[in-house]
Structure 1
Amino acid sequence: MLILPAIDIIDGKPVRLYKGDYSKKEIVAKDVLETAKHFEEIGADWIHLVDLDGAKEKEPKNMKLILKIAKEIKTPIEIGGGMRNLETIKKYIEGGVKRVILGTAAIEDEKLLRESIKLYGNKIAVGIDCKDEYICGDGWLYKSKIHYIEFAKKLEKLGVKNIIVTDISKDGTLEGPNIDMLKKLKGEVSIDITASGGIKDINDIKKLKELNIYGAITGKAIYKKTLDLEESLKVSKD
């Protein structure tokens, strides 16, 4: 299982939200690039970046910074937030980003999703962000009537190879990931699943590893020091 430390970005600063609430943002480090370099030094498998401004405004807002990170570190990075057209996706991938995550666009624009997969294959992932098991979009500001398992099955048929699954009610809470939700999904699709939201400590990493999923994204636990990144990387490989 891969471990992906997360850096969420608002106004060029590394932040964390609580249950996706923009009014409850907390700046967690001084500098995004320095934080990414720190994760690289520890040995992170990937670094997970989210342009929260982009997710909210429906267009990239921190692209310059993200492309600088892609240029200055060797650790592969993935980016989500504000992916609404092929031009944006192309700029990121040609700029060195290894994987682009479609969120709301994957819900609302199937044509874009199909074209992206055709052009970039496994460099395209889809974020499945849910509340009460139903998909949310626009930086988690609205809830759809699409069930997360139904959506995952559709994505698999379309050729998506990697999904990032977030239970919004767990995100930023340190209450533990939604293991039951992930188990149900694992039983329905064979696509690579990356779990996000709620990870508190090494026991949560062990529980996710037992599920035999592709990856685990952790943010707040690292910043609050309830989880040691180096230890989690070791456990994930044992």
Structure 2
Amino acid sequence: MIILPAIDIKGGECVRLVKGDYSTAQKVIESPYLAAQRFADAGANWMHMVDLDGAKDAKLVNADLIADVAKSSGLSVEVGGGIRDMKAVEYYLSHGINRVILGSAAVKDQQFVIDAVNTFGDQIVIGIDAKDGMVRAEGWLDNSEINYIELAKRMEDVGVKTIVFTDIEQDGTLAGPNLKQLDSLIKSVSCNIIASGGVAVLKDIKNLIELNAYGAICGKSIYSGSLDLRQAIETTRNS
């Protein structure tokens, strides 16, 4: 399992939210460059970055900053937030980003997902964000009538290989990931599943390894100090 420490960008700063509520945004480190350097120093190979402004505004907002942070870090990077068309996908993939995450587009524009997967293959990741099992979009502000497993199966059918699953109720809470929903998802599709939301302590990492999750995104736990990133990475390598 891979550990993906997270950097969420809002207004050019590295922040964390609680349950996706933009009003809870709190700056967690002096700069995203410093965060990325610390991740690399701890032994991370991957980093997860989100343009929060982009997710809300449905367009790229902090893309130049994200690409620059990614380049300076030397890490493999996946990026989500505001990626709504092929031009946005191409921008990131031509600026050193390894994978792009399509979230709202998976709900609202399946043809775009199909075209992106056909063109870029494994570099396209789908982000499924759910509350009470139902998918949300547009920076988690819009409800849908789609169950998270139903959407995952649709994405599997069009060739998607990797899914980031976030239980919004757990995100930013340090209350542990939703193991029940993750287990159901992992057993329902053949896609690689990256768990996001709620990871707090080393036990959470061990639980996700037992579920056979492909990856775990860790944000607030790292910044708060409840999870030692180096120890988490070593745990996955020894499992």
TM-score, length basis structure 1 = 0.99
Q: Kindly state the Cα deviation for residue 70 of structure 1 after the two structures are TM-superposed.
A: 2.7
Q: CA RMSD in A?
A: 0.7
**In 2, Cα distance between equivalents of 1:115 and 1:70:** 25
The number of equivalent residue pairs is 238
Identity over aligned residues, as a percent?
46
The 5 Å alignment of 1:138-177 reads: 138-177=138-177
Paired residue type of 1:206: K
The 5 Å alignment of 1:121-200 reads: 121-200=121-200
Task: Please name the residue that 2:117 is paired with.
Answer: 117
Paired residue type of 1:133: G
Asked if the contact 1:70/1:95 (under 8 Å) is kept, the reply is no
Q: Kindly state the Cα deviation for residue 127 of structure 1 after the two structures are TM-superposed.
A: 0.3
**In 1, Cα distance between equivalents of 2:121 and 2:222:** 31
Task: Please name the residue that 1:230 is paired with.
Answer: 230
**In 2, Cα distance between equivalents of 1:110 and 1:154:** 9
Task: Please name the residue that 1:37 is paired with.
Answer: 37
Q: Secondary structure at the match of 2:188?
A: coil
Please list the CA deviations of residues 3-34 of structure 1 after superposition, one character each: whole Å capped at 9, or x if unmatched. 00011110110000000000011110010112
| Residue 218 of structure 1 pairs with residue 218 of structure 2 | yes
Paired residue type of 1:186: I
Q: Which runs of 5+ in 2 are unaligned?
A: none
Q: Secondary structure at the match of 1:187?
A: helix
TM-score, length basis structure 2 = 0.98
Task: Please name the residue that 2:106 is paired with.
Answer: 106
Paired residue type of 1:225: G
Following superposition, which runs of at least 4 residues in structure 1 exceed 4 angstroms of deviation?
Answer: none
Task: Please name the residue that 1:52 is paired with.
Answer: 52
Q: Which runs of 5+ in 1 are unaligned?
A: none
**In 2, Cα distance between equivalents of 1:155 and 1:97:** 22
